[in-house]
Amino acid sequence: MKFKSLIITLFASSIFLATIICIWTIIATLQGLSFTALNFNFNLLLSLGLTIISIFIGNKFNHLLKIFVLSISFTILYIFLSKSSPLWFSGGIFLLILFFTNKLRKYDLKYLNQDFISEKIVFEFLSLFAIIFFALVILFPFYIMFVTSFKTQTALLINPLDLSIDFSKNIFDIFKSYFVIFKTYDFGRYILTSSYVSIGTVLITLLFAIPAAYAVARLKFFGKNFLSTSILIIYMFPAIVLVIPLYTVFSQLGLRNSIGGLLIVYTATTLPVAIYMLQGYFKSIPKEIEEAGLIDGQNWFGIIIKIIIPLSLPAIASVSLYVFMIAWNEFLFSLMFLDNPKTFTLSRAINHLTGDAETPRQYLMAGSVIVTLPILLIFVYFEKYLVSGLTAGSVKG
């Protein structure tokens, strides 16, 4: 049993360290260092040695002293065996090994001697792998998007892998893509349009959805069950099947290329889910509060304004953020309805940029950063509200 868990630990931990060193190498490559190979096998051997020593030393010495000595000696060994590389790269290797030996702290021979321990060890390392895998897979494209927007066309042609930002240039040159995007491609106008459309959609949706949701949640009327199921069914129908009839009707009514037309469509497509989310929350408000309001002589309108809305602000915030996100990110309808650059939204404008094959990619990425950043900031700041919106909106509906 002891031998089996020892082998598994060695195997899992050395693959783990080798992998993170390789990822660090890739990151360094993207900062302009030229590596011609990943040297996975070399890293693996080195990690194996490190793990063996660390496990056999165990906790006989001071932990801090042990990890520092091990990390420094292995970093020096790494630098000595591989080709020379700048200090920051070696520093990174040192930190990685430090982190790794610290993780190995509890893995001494005594720990490995426990029953059923091997499964636990595999699981622990799998979790570590998963953290790194998900962080890498998700953040890598965002990182590339951000960094590419600071490069120039020629620099990208010379070495597409060097994505380092040259801070020795003056500030105008570093942010050149953004200046060009705003000046030549008129992105200031698109940001305004996108904001108008998104905020407008939120306001109109709330205006329509709150009364409707209140009626569905509280009042008795003929066809209520039918209505609440059809809300969900309607939400399932995709935009793509609506596009052709809406396009023809909007063309004949002259609503294409107008913000008004876009607002109508966005509101209608988000209304079902908004009503669904709000009525669920309204139902959870105790009826007694409203009855007290009724006795005070309030009519339905007064009850909604004075009782329901103040009590359900969190739900309203969720719906608003969710609808805002949908409207800000929407692409299909803006592609269909807008072909005059004066009425473009941000998404449509970026799509328009790619229509010209000559558009340099750093401009495209600068545009992408501009459209992505606001929504990510809003998400991070209001995460709690948006997550409940997402859960209700996208999976239930």
Partner 1 sequence: MSTTLSKIEKKTAYTLLLPAVCLVFSIILFPIFANIWISFKEVGLKDIRIPEPRAKKIVKNIQDNNSELKIIYKLRNSSLTQNIREVRFSDKFPKNIEPIDLDTRCDFKSKKIKCFFGDWEAGYRENFEIIIKDVNNNVINIQNIKSYKPDLNGKSDNILLTTEFTLKNFKSIFLNNNFFELLMTTFYFTFFGTLGAIILGIFAAQLVNQKFYGRSFMRSILLFPYVGPVVALAYTWTLLLDPNSGTINSLLVSYGIMEKPINLLGQKYLIINILGFDFKLRLALTTVIFFEIWRYFPLAFLFILARLQAIPKDLYEAADVDGAGPFRKFFHITLPQITAILSILFMIRFIWNFNKFEDIFLLTGGASGTLTLPISVYQQGFAVSNIGMGSAVSIVIVLLLITFMIIYFKLIGKRANEI
Site for partner 1 in 234-263 (CB under 8 A): 234, 236-249, 251-252
Task: Give how far Cα 311 sits from Cα of 22, 129, 272, 294, 304, Å.
Answer: 53, 44, 21, 16, 10
- Cβ 277 to partner 1 shortest distance, Å: 13
161 scored as a contact of partner 1 (CB under 8 A): yes
* Residues of span 105-124 touching partner 1 by CB under 8 A: 115-116, 119-120, 122-123
Q: With respect to partner 1, which residue has the nearer C-beta, 57 or 332? A: 332
Tokens for 34, please give them. 């030229």
- Cβ 391 to partner 1 shortest distance, Å: 5
Round to whole Å and give the CA distance between 40 and 116. 30
77 scored as a contact of partner 1 (CB under 8 A): no
x/- letters, 123..142, toward partner 1 (CB under 8 A): x---x--xx--xx-xxxxxx
357 scored as a contact of partner 1 (CB under 8 A): no
Among 96, 195, 208, 341, binds partner 1 (CB under 8 A): 208
65 scored as a contact of partner 1 (CB under 8 A): no
98 scored as a contact of partner 1 (CB under 8 A): no
- Dmax (CA) for the chain in angstroms is 86
Among 311, 332, 341, 360, binds partner 1 (CB under 8 A): 332
212 scored as a contact of partner 1 (CB under 8 A): yes
Q: With respect to partner 1, which residue has the nearer C-beta, 52 or 242? A: 242
Helix (H) or strand (E) holding 234: helix 224-236
Q: With respect to partner 1, which residue has the nearer C-beta, 72 or 292? A: 292
Q: With respect to partner 1, which residue has the nearer C-beta, 52 or 212? A: 212
314 HSE (CA, 13 A, CB side): 10
- Cβ 275 to partner 1 shortest distance, Å: 6
Residue 237 neighbours by CB distance under 10 Å: 11
317 scored as a contact of partner 1 (CB under 8 A): no
Q: By rule CB under 8 A, what count of residues binds partner 1?
A: 104
Round to whole Å and give the CA distance between 57 and 108. 8
Tokens for 115, please give them. 């029953």
* CB within 8 Å of 273: residues ≥ 6 apart: 235, 322, 392, 393, 397
Q: With respect to partner 1, which residue has the nearer C-beta, 69 or 329? A: 329
Query: Rg for the chain (alpha carbons), in Å?
Result: 29
Round to whole Å and give the CA distance between 228 and 334. 29
298 scored as a contact of partner 1 (CB under 8 A): no
Round to whole Å and give the CA distance between 372 and 42. 40
x/- letters, 24..43, toward partner 1 (CB under 8 A): --x--xx---xxxxx-----
- From the list 4-12, 54-62, 63-71, 376-384, the region that binds partner 1 by CB under 8 A is 376-384
The three-state (H, E, C) secondary structure of 257-280, written as one string? CCHHHHHHHHHHHHHHHHHHHHHH
Round to whole Å and give the CA distance between 38 and 25. 7
- Cβ 56 to partner 1 shortest distance, Å: 25
- Cβ 147 to partner 1 shortest distance, Å: 10
364 scored as a contact of partner 1 (CB under 8 A): yes
Task: Give how far Cα 228 sits from Cα of 119, 213, 223, 276, Å.
Answer: 49, 10, 9, 8
- From the list 12-20, 160-168, 172-180, 306-314, the region that binds partner 1 by CB under 8 A is 160-168
Q: What is the torsional sign of CA 314, 320, 323, 325?
A: negative
